[in-house]
Amino acid sequence: MAFEKNKFQVVKKKRLPKSDFSVECNIPVETEVSKIFSVCHSAQVENAEVLNGVINYNGIIDFCVLFQSIDGEIQTSNFSCPFTSKFEDSQISTGDKVEIDVEVVDFSVDSVTSSNIKITCQVQQKGVIIFCKDVEIIDSSDENICTKKEEIFVSTLIGEASEVFTSDSEVSIKEPVRKVILCDSQVSVKTVESGVNFVSVAGEVVNRILYLTENDRYETSYLTENFKEEVELEGVSRDSISEAVAFVKKNQVKCEVAEQEKGVLVKISVPIFVKVTAFEERAVEVVKDIYSTSGDLEVSTESFDMTRELNHDYFEAKIDGNLTLNEDQPRVDKILFIAGTNLTISNAYVQNGEVFVEGVAKANVVYLNDEENSNNSVTMEVPFVVSDKSSVTCDEPAISVRAMLYDVDVVVKKGRDLYFDGKLKLHISYDCDEVSAVINNANVASEGVERDCAVELVFAKAGMEAWDIAKHLKVREEVLMLQNPEITFPLQEDTNVVVYYKISN
């Protein structure tokens, strides 16, 4: 008996464990610092090398430090701090794809000099390795081997691609501007659609400008630009399922201010890095059941797991919170501006058809105290839980969240009670692990089927298929059906089935 060995591939995602590491950064300043108001940060991975058992990668932490100089002027220092790190896991293999997320979860300002601000960051790393697994199956063209086949749908990896594009925006400010203090850009992915050999990614770029007018007022302006970018990726079809991540290359953002007849024109050029990964579901024919008409078989099966990509969700939400200053903190006589914001996502889960996202928003509020005639700052921490309807159908999906905090405002009452409100844009992606099994091997345990009669009557129960009875009798299914043309399968009731054998002399 001849058995043919074949194989097919499935894609699997394995979550790498979260871990923390420290990064020491020295941020240059060109003047003596009297007071630091805020430190805004965002971390991103630039390059990764996947080897057997280890992933080595490097990235940068982008800082925007807003401070007051010794002469009372408010300034900013933007700096990109490089770092390296790694993951170690015995299942990592050369050629695997990897998705790494890094986030600054805490920091401390260790020292401040006339030329340098030293900051130590606690960075959290997590990631996913994406790899392809071979699954073995068997088949046979032997006339004595009967096989029952079925189509199963498996998830496979098409590939990944990335590119950088630029989002340009401009705004006219209808009054004289002394200087732009802060220019911050964020990107949010809203939709990901597969085309023919490309993936279309659409979303928004939100720019925030903090500037000082000639009348010594601090003003904030938000600019929103929609984008839709097509990333070429060979093999993608309209039926493919694709995911995308995007981030701003902040160290390359350009903010130019041009004088106009009435005010200024601010032009912002924002480089956006976008990476897409595409998957597809395809049908594979496998042997569901097998037997021999000339003997007994020993059949073994193999279980395999794969990761199936699911639809994405996008929603917007509002968050709010409050803070009461301690008695030893200077009272707030006037809020000057929101210096900067940071956002941390701590948890996400699906419950009763809704996706819930938990996290903490932070806003650095710079304010004036009249009694001391001083500028001061306080950090507001706002825990939040937001939710929306979820499209996921998996019981226990793995969830990835990318969120943007914007349009933040803080008001004060009675000099000590601060009230925060802001908005979130959230892009949620899901995937789900599935376990299945296939027949991967068969051996002949014994040859020959002894028949001691020419006719056999089988009492078959309702619900049985022709295959079940034929396998029990070790005859071909078509023989059974040919000899019992009056019977319809599956059986509607208990039925006597007759089989005629050829008896050799």
Convert the pLDDT of each residue in 372-391 to its tens digit.
Answer: 889 999 999 999 999 999 99
Instruction: Evaluate if pTM is beyond 0.95.
Output: no
Is the per-residue pLDDT at 199 higher than 60?
yes
Q: How confident is the model at residue 5 (pLDDT cuts 50, 70, 90)?
A: very high
Regarding predicted confidence, which is higher, 446 or 256? 256
Instruction: Read off the pLDDT band of 329 (50, 70, 90).
Output: very high
Instruction: For tokens 């078959």, name the residue.
Output: 460
Give residue-wise pLDDT tens across range 462-483.
Answer: 999 999 999 988 999 999 999 9
Give, in order, the Cα–Cα distances in Å from 420 to each of 66, 120, 149, 328, 411: 20, 28, 62, 21, 7
Reduced 3-state DSSP string for 309-378: ECCCEEEEEEEEEEEECCCCCCCCCEEEEEEEEEEEEEEEEEECCEEEEEEEEEEEEEEEECCCCEEEEE
Q: Mind giving me the DSSP string for 107-140? A: EEEEEE-SSEEEEEEEEEEEEEEEEEEEEEEEE-
Q: Residue 26 has which token pair?
A: 């020295």
- 471 sits in which H/E element: helix 466-473
> Model confidence at 88, in pLDDT bands (50, 70, 90)?
very high
pLDDT above 90: residue 37: yes
Confidence at residue 400, expressed as pLDDT on a 0 to 100 scale? 93
What are 12's two structure tokens? 């699997």
pLDDT digits (tens, 9 = 90+) for 62-71: 999 999 999 8
Q: Domains (ranges, CATH) in the chain?
A: 14-131 (no CATH), 140-293 (no CATH), 310-449 (no CATH), 450-500 (3.10.350.10)
What is the mean pLDDT of the segment spanning 72-101?
93
Percent of the chain with pLDDT over 70: 99
Model confidence at 295, pLDDT cuts 50, 70, 90, reads confident
Given the structure tokens 């499209």, which residue do they identify?
391
Q: Where are the beta strands (DSSP E) in 370-413?
A: 374-389, 398-413
